[in-house]
Every structure is written in structure tokens, then in C-alpha cells.
Structure 1
């Protein structure tokens, strides 16, 4: 997929899928991110927000609702066009600007952004450590980074290596009856690897969660009952030794010395 229209169509498919489990997996992450955007705005006044890799722009309207100015940056112009298209009907008065470029190159000023959102991006970037360091440099001293990325040993990622083989991909498209595209994931990191990169960038985890349980067959053919079962398993294994099976790992990060959200324990251990 290359055109803005195709990218928007795929994004809408993910969040409004006919399949309840596919819809749930993406909407659960979306809802978590939106909640953390609101929480960050309530903790301290913020002016400028940045989304790194906005995809088709599903979060830009949420950012514009609570921040005075929003910037979306991506190296691919097609994604920026798609994001701009999706936000055409935004009711917010906050301006949204689009920058084609690489944050690592220093295209934005140091300590210039109050909140950075980086959702489902670093798994597409070979040198994620440099991108995380660049985001840390771009954050203001009291700024917040919201980051999500897949877990390497979740069933979604493990089975995804098989799902996109010739023949199987065509079968999945027949089962789901909607667009199924390769993920393009080249750098799926464990929690320990991620925390090591956070530590190197001088970022502290103030909140972390895992969510999104998937099992084949039940997900494809279980309908709403199957989705309900998988959601129940999802909740049951969160914060247990089985949480590595959940698809998405979610983090809220700050620079050392920044105030953490009330009641949240700061996690600086890089062991995972």
C-alpha cells in the first residue's frame, strides 16, 4: 500500500474490523494511548506535542484536543498525507503541522516538546536506540514520552512470521475478508532490551503495562464469544509471569527528576 487513501483504508480496517478479536487487539492499544495522553495533560500544563510516525493519524485529533500545537513527523510522505487526510475534519482549533524528516537528524530543536507519542514505530526502525535517544533530547525537562511496541514472544508476533508466507497470506485474507498486510517489523525488542535503551537515553519508566492476547482459531472463528474469552485471559495474565504472551508493551517515560503521576512507582531497573 502506498497511496494516502490506501493507508487510511487499512487503518480504518484495523480499528473497525469485522473480526471482534482483530478489532479488540488494536482498539485496546488505541484506548490505552488516548487515556495516557489525557493523563499527561492533566498532570502538568503542556503546549507542544509531537507524534513520531503517525501512521494514518489516528491519534492526532486526540493530541490536538488537549495540546496547543501538534507536530507529526515521518520519513515517509505517504503516511503524512494519510494523516493529514484523516485529520481534515478535526473539530479542534489546535494547529497540526506535518514534517517530513528523521528526528535523529535533529530536525526539531532540543528540549522543545512537552509530550512525544511513539506508538508502534520502533519495531520498524533498525536503530531504535538512536531514535529513543533523539526523542529524549527533544523532550523538555518535565516532558513525557508515551511509547508502545510489540513483544517478541507474543503469539501475534511468533505466528506472524508464518502468516505472511505465500499461500497462507491469501488464506488469511479469505478468512478475514478484509486487508491483511505484512507488518514490516524488523526490530521487535524484549522488555529488558527496551529498558536498556531507555536507560542509555536517560529516561525513566514511570508506568508500564502489557495488553492484547491472541490465540489462532479462537480469534478467527470464535466471534464475540472468542473475543470475550481472549480479553478475559488478557486481564488474568497481566502482571504475571505469563504477560510476555501479550502482544503490546506500553510505557510512560520521563527524564530523571520529573514528577511521576500520583501513585505510580518509578521503575528504573533495566533487567525487565
Structure 2
């Protein structure tokens, strides 16, 4: 997985990491392999409770209720910030990235991923989960189908501009995840193999906007040129 490889490649052992919006917490064990302290933050207590119970006896895990768009986390505090599949759920991703830059140490690293606005999966989901067709989608899948909650799906150009505006410099990037409507649902293993073969042919071409996810590694070497979100206007 690209995220796990990126953490291992760019992170320095020891120090302090934080994951913003941990979901089920699948990256926490990976972060613990590298960092002495691992913070887990979310703006909703309900998402933190299962992780808090699972790691109740682990003094290296710190659970924090915090809204990254108006964060109370301390300046220059973390060696690594992990924010994967989160900013698409946040209306003000600019504020989120400004605070992420602020809480990173000068030599800190951000690992970020978010869907692409015009990926086949996002476009298909907008149609299939629309109020006119969601009944049909549930019929096809024969199981509950929920809306994705993606309210801020950005193009690569927009994400890169927001990173730059936050004073973050991209040092590595990647795009991946080819979803082919119909093929994924009805062609089984053959469909998966077909998508796996086509994905590297599409990546780094003018067509790579159809891949589902964009990934970035960024540092804050230029943050001194940008205003902190805590400063007045």
C-alpha cells in the first residue's frame, strides 16, 4: 500500500506522529512501529471511542478530540501528520491544511491522500447514489448502500494549489486506483486483473485524472513565508 510505504520511506524513527481522521485505525500499528508517540485526532468523539477502547492500555497512544480546521494542537509539535481520505469530508480544506502545516515541526512530513474529482469511481458514485437512482444501486448490490459523504472532492490542481498556499512543498506524489464501471461489479477476477493492467498505463498520462485517489508527501520548508492561521487578518 502506497501510504504504508510512504510512512516507512520518509519517517524518521522516534518522535511524534498524529493521524487526522483515523477511521477504523488501520494505520496506528504502522505508526507505532516507527514513532515513540502516536496521537489520533478527530472532531467527532464517536469515531474515537472504538480506538480509545482498543488502545486503552497503551501509554504511547494519545486520543485527541480536535477539529483540524480550527485546531487547538500546539505549533511545530509533530514529526509526521497522516491525513488520508479526510479532506474530501471537510468544507474548508484550506483551513485544515494551514493548521496541518502549523503543527508540523520544521522538518516534519505530511502524508496526504484524497479522491480525485473526475475519477471514474467518483463520477459513477454521483450518479448511482443520486436520489433518483440509489434505489436501483441498492437493488443491484443487494445490500445497504450509503452516500459517501464526499462534499469537497478536488482536482489535483486544486489540492496542489492549497498545499502551496499552506506553505507545504510536495516532495512525492502518486495516483492510483482504477475503477471501471460495470467491469468491477460483473467481471469478477478478470475485471480486477484488467484494471490492474491498465492502471500503470494510465498513470502519468493526460488520462490519470480518472484514477480514484491522489497521494502526496509534503514538507513545510517554506512555511516561514506564510501566515499562521492563528494570526489576525
TM-score normalised by the chain length of structure 2: 0.88
1:178 CA drift (Å): 4.8
1:145 matches 2:110: yes
- Counterpart of 1:111 in structure 2 is 76
| 1:184 corresponds to which of 149, 154, 162 | 149
1:70 matches 2:38: yes
TM-score normalised by the chain length of structure 1: 0.76
Against the structure 1 CA distance between its residues 94 and 245, is the aligned structure 2 distance closer, same or farther, given a 3 Å change threshold? farther
What is the CA RMSD across the aligned residues, in angstroms? 2.1
Against the structure 1 CA distance between its residues 64 and 222, is the aligned structure 2 distance closer, same or farther, given a 3 Å change threshold? same
Against the structure 1 CA distance between its residues 255 and 181, is the aligned structure 2 distance closer, same or farther, given a 3 Å change threshold? same
Query: Which runs of 4 or more aligned residues in structure 1 lie more than 4 Å from their structure 2 counterparts after TM superposition?
Result: 87-90
Against the structure 1 CA distance between its residues 171 and 94, is the aligned structure 2 distance closer, same or farther, given a 3 Å change threshold? farther
- Counterpart of 2:22 in structure 1 is 54
Partners of 2:123 and 2:9 in 1: CA distance: 33
1:39 matches 2:9: yes
Against the structure 1 CA distance between its residues 89 and 233, is the aligned structure 2 distance closer, same or farther, given a 3 Å change threshold? farther
1:57 CA drift (Å): 1.1
Partners of 2:59 and 2:135 in 1: CA distance: 42
Q: What count of residue pairs does the alignment treat as equivalent?
A: 223
Bigger mean CA offset, 180-189 vs 107-116: 180-189
Partners of 1:67 and 1:170 in 2: CA distance: 46
Cα deviation digits, residues 74-114 of structure 1 (max 9, x gap): 111111123335x4499xx6721111121333321100000
Against the structure 1 CA distance between its residues 81 and 179, is the aligned structure 2 distance closer, same or farther, given a 3 Å change threshold? farther
Partners of 2:90 and 2:167 in 1: CA distance: 20
List gaps (5 residues or longer) in structure 2: 224-233
Partners of 1:250 and 1:207 in 2: CA distance: 8
Partners of 2:115 and 2:203 in 1: CA distance: 15
Describe how 1:219-234 pairs up with structure 2 within 5 A. Answer: 219-234=184-199
| 2:165 corresponds to which of 200, 220, 229 | 200
Against the structure 1 CA distance between its residues 174 and 97, is the aligned structure 2 distance closer, same or farther, given a 3 Å change threshold? farther
1:54 CA drift (Å): 0.7
Cα deviation digits, residues 52-91 of structure 1 (max 9, x gap): 1111212112111211111111111111123335x4499x
List gaps (5 residues or longer) in structure 1: 1-30, 259-272
